[in-house]
Amino acid sequence: MKALLYKKELRFTDIPNPAPAADEALIKTITAGICATDLEIFKGYMNFEGIPGHEFAGEVIEAAEAALIGKRVAGEINAGCGKCNYCLTGLERHCPNRTTLGIKGRNGVFAEYFTLPMKNLYPIPENLSSHEAVFVEPLAAAVEIMEQVHINPNWKVLLIGDGRLAALIAQVLKLHGLDFITAGKNSKKLSLFNEWGSHTIETDPPKAGYDLVIEASGHPSGWDSAVSAVKPRGTIVLKSTYAGSFNFNPAPLVINEITVTGSRCGKFAPAIRLLEAGLVDVEKLISAVYPFDRILEAVEYAKKPDVFKVLVDFS
């Protein structure tokens, strides 16, 4: 099969088709999305080598559960051991022995075929296109914030970032009736945030004024902005992942008694319901669609600052 392989550099190549384990399905990729995490992997994030990519809509080709065969599916990206306390309580994404699709120990979806455990798969509703279904995974990550933090509707909320994930977070905040401000760098992108009910600023946000700051900039500088903007005893939700590390002074967190919540993957069922009901607009986030044989071009285009989501079509 054709695949995009990352080993210190990207190359489009031929490799053998994957063979699913007994509890896995063989899935044919229909559409895949290029995520900010993918771009960080190409810089060395997680020291991953193999086939990247974790946002997808696919068709089940082979599975022990006959009812799955031929179904369009989305899939949770973390595959746990199924035996530890995390897995047994529905937190496979924190299983110490997990693999993560296209990120850790498991080949991803930038290939014609890939495998995932059958229990990870969710049928895509008929009224959702495969392009829309690619957004299930990042939308689930946006909804996860609401599970982790009990947000007072009167809070002052700041969203830092104007990229792919921030755009989905903004729409989730709007659905919860929150009055919030988005701080970003790109006026073209920020115009969409206005449509989703956000006030926007292109300068550094005011200091120490916000009850909740959601950092989704994808850049280390977003952390400094978040610490400066949150009020004493406020909360920072940290969504950004990036290659490398940065130094920070923990004193402001201690002195101002700040709560910091890391936030990663979320549950698929609520995200699918939001998309199925048309409550989240993802069509406006599709900046370009490339055929699979031009995926290297697609990756380069996804790096541009005014681009939201780039999709790869395998049809």
**Ordered structural domains, the chain, with CATH:** 2-135+282-313 (3.90.180.10), 140-262 (3.40.50.720)
| Residue that the structure tokens 């490339």 belong to | 290
In angstroms, rounded to a whole number, what is the distance separating the alpha carbons of residues 284 and 152? 29
Contacts of 125 (CB under 8 A, 6+ apart): 272, 275, 276
Structure tokens given for 119: 């229990």
Distances from the Cα of 282 to the Cα of 60, 101, 126, 211, 215, angstroms:
24, 22, 16, 28, 21
Q: Are strands 286-291 and 259-262 parallel, antiparallel or unpaired?
A: unpaired
The whole-number pLDDT of residue 206 equals: 75
In angstroms, rounded to a whole number, what is the distance separating the alpha carbons of residues 221 and 240? 11
Distances from the Cα of 117 to the Cα of 64, 70, 81, 84, 296, angstroms:
11, 16, 11, 16, 28
The whole-number pLDDT of residue 241 equals: 86
In angstroms, rounded to a whole number, what is the distance separating the alpha carbons of residues 170 and 178? 10
Residues of the chain below pLDDT 70:
none
With beta carbons less than 8 A apart as the criterion, state whether 238 and 258 touch. Answer: no
The whole-number pLDDT of residue 197 equals: 87
The whole-number pLDDT of residue 289 equals: 98
Predicted structure pTM score: 0.95
In angstroms, rounded to a whole number, what is the distance separating the alpha carbons of residues 29 and 131? 12
Phi/psi for 255 (5° steps) reads -60, -40
Phi/psi for 5 (5° steps) reads -110, 135
3-state secondary structure of 55: strand
With beta carbons less than 8 A apart as the criterion, state whether 272 and 125 touch. Answer: yes
The whole-number pLDDT of residue 232 equals: 96
The whole-number pLDDT of residue 247 equals: 81
The whole-number pLDDT of residue 125 equals: 98
HSE (side-chain half, CA atoms, 13 Å) at 298 = 28
| Residue that the structure tokens 């489009």 belong to | 12
The whole-number pLDDT of residue 280 equals: 97
